[in-house]
Amino acid sequence: MASTSSLPALDASRLSISLTETPFPIPTGKTTTKAHTDHLLIVSWTSTQGWSAPQIVPYRPLSLPPTASVLHYATSCYEGTKLYRGYDGKLRVFRLLDNCRRMKDSATRASMPAPDPNELSKLVKELCRVEGPRWLPSETSKGKFLYIRPTIIGIDADLALHVAKEVLLYVVLVTWPENANSPTAIGDKETLPGFKLWASPEDSVRAWPGGTGNHKVSANYGPALKAHSEAEKNGFDQVLWLHGTDRMVTEAGGSNFFVIWKTKDGVLELVTAPLDSGLILPGITRRSILELARTRFNITSKWELDGRTVLATAVNVEEKDFMIVDLIEASEDGRLLAVFVAGTANFVRPVTEINVHSHSIHIDYDAIPHAALLRKWLADMMYGIEESQWTEVIND
Ligand SMILES: *Cc1c(COP(=O)(O)O)cnc(C)c1O
């Protein structure tokens, strides 16, 4: 590894594009499945050759040896973000460079070569530019999006347990069934039903100090499915991961977790778990919500929401540890005003019930407007209704 610095770095200017001659049918009407688009962005890396020239090629399956490192040792990490077709007909990405920076951190944690975030961002935007016109036509796709999934996998075939000497980085775009996860879903109980969360069982943890919970490495996700399927079997949507014997609240499924409550001293507070424990995935939606809440909820103000004027009381924004008993107590005292989860996949979603070992906490859907406002502000930026430094237009 000593000489890697002299090897070719990831370089978007070396991109070649080979367009398909047999485009895939575009799903029409209401579909329930995800479909990939026509092309794939792919780059390889080896410890002796560095990064290859990136390619956008017609979509194709990967061919891997059955002994490939990723299939045995989970040498893999990924990202998730979205490409939005605005109401003004323009394509936008939201804080894409932050995703690319996180990809670099995840790759480093999984002992894989870290792609330069700026170059990766340029390459993702090129793929979006290629797929935009056909998969999100500007006239007919306003308010729609594609999901962007960059992935890095180790492909060494020697079955030895060592740091990957060969990797593939690839990016696919997929269509997403239109449902309540769309940022444009109108925020009422029918179209945007609240999530029901199932507290993780005591014998199951998602992340631990010194582990990988704060990185998007693939090894975090498969093992969490056992608790997730238990939640689903019981009629719940996601697992709320509690940590340690004091049952600290961390995050929910693939989303960060937020509470708005009144403290015992009567202060209105928006709380989410802090990042310093290393247990929490540093969500870009999470960061955006904290930044918006700190600047817009610092004083009590009136806002427009779905054609009416609402009053949002000022809130203190806190990143701090809290326990599930704090939630139960706040609920019993009538101080628990709103709970929601936030992440790219589920966007901003109210939580209406939390089951903690057969005890249920119920939360009012719309006692206060804060979560609905945060949701609207972010969606307005993504779809070009509000100009924002967090979005970037892609000319397709
Ligand atoms: C991806 C992810 C999130 C959300 O991150 P965003 O950048 O907001 O999409 C939250 N928690 C976990 C565990 C995740 O994997």
Write down all domains in the chain, each with its CATH number in brackets. 4-178 (3.30.470.10), 195-382 (3.20.10.10)
Mutate to test the pocket of ligand 1, among 81, 149, 255, 289 (most ligand atoms within 8 A of CB): 255
Instruction: Assess whether pLDDT exceeds 80 at residue 4.
Output: no
CA–CA separation, 183 vs 83, rounded Å?
A: 12
CA of 20 to the centre of ligand 1 (A): 32
Instruction: Assess whether pLDDT exceeds 70 at residue 94.
Output: yes
Local structure of 294: helix, strand or coil: helix
pLDDT tens digits, 259-314? 999 999 999 999 999 999 999 999 999 999 999 999 999 999 999 998 999 999 99
88, 199 contact by CB (below 8 A)? no
Take atom 12 of ligand 1 and give the residue whose Cα is closest. Answer: 254
Mutate to test the pocket of ligand 1, among 344, 346, 348 (most ligand atoms within 8 A of CB): 344
Atom of ligand 1 nearest to the CA of 286: 8
Quote the pTM value.
0.96
CA distances from 2 to 7, 43, 48, 339 (A): 10, 22, 10, 49
Q: pLDDT averaged over the chain? A: 94
How far out from the chain centre does Cα 189 lie? 23
Q: Ligand 1: residues within 6 Å at CB?
A: 80, 216, 251, 254-256, 281, 283-286, 343-344
Take atom 6 of ligand 1 and give the residue whose Cα is closest. Answer: 283
Instruction: For residue 27, give both structure tokens.
Output: 């799903």
